[in-house]
Amino acid sequence: MFTVTVDEREYKIEFENDNTNKGKINNNDFLLDVVSPQFGIYHLIKDNQSYNIEVITSDFKKKEFSILINGEQYTVKVQDETDVLLHEMGFDAAFDTLESEIKAPMPGLVLNIIAKEGDNIKKGDPLVVLEAMKMENTLKSPRDGVIKTVKCTIKQVVEKGAILLEFE
């Protein structure tokens, strides 16, 4: 089961047998027809309604996305059962404070480095802009801290898991 929050509205989604086109949303059955002509762009049909969806920004670490649906922008946060349980137990905040490195969540091209060595950073501050599959992804700080080392350069191609920045 997944908990999906769309602009403050929460939905419980269960997929049927790992089929992401069929399942239940808030205990109501759904069946989707989805076509993706390219990464980040989707055409979806649900209940004879057509939706054009485009992912504008994505923060895979936080599982947060900014999307356009038929021209209207929404903020989406996705949590699985483990995320929900960790949050309820208060452990998610503890994990955030342990981050000492910012790693590339996917292979891509470094478009911009916003943070500099020695900068005082607050949780949520933008650090690096990474382009992956024609989408710009702004990597944000998971915690307050000081940037110790910048390990990447603009226009550098990085692999998934590459260390981009280090905190003191």
pLDDT in tens, 96-117: 545 788 898 889 999 999 999 9
Q: Residue 68 has which token pair?
A: 């356009």
Q: Shortest CA distance to 109 belongs to which of 165, 153, 51, 65?
A: 153
Confidence of residue 28 (pLDDT cuts 50, 70, 90): very high
Residue 12 confidence (pLDDT) above 60: yes
- Top-confidence residue, 87 or 33: 33
* Weakest-pLDDT range from 44-48, 58-62, 63-67, 154-158: 58-62
Using CB atoms within 10 A of its CB, is residue 141 exposed (0-12), middle (13-18) or buried (19+)? buried
Give the start-to-end residue ranges of the domains of the chain.
2-82, 99-167
**Is the whole model's pTM more than 0.85, yes or no?**
no
Confidence of residue 60 (pLDDT cuts 50, 70, 90): confident
d(CA 137, CA 159): 14
Q: Residue 93 has which token pair?
A: 């905040």
Q: Tell the CATH topology of 99-167.
A: OB fold (Dihydrolipoamide Acetyltransferase, E2P) (2.40.50)
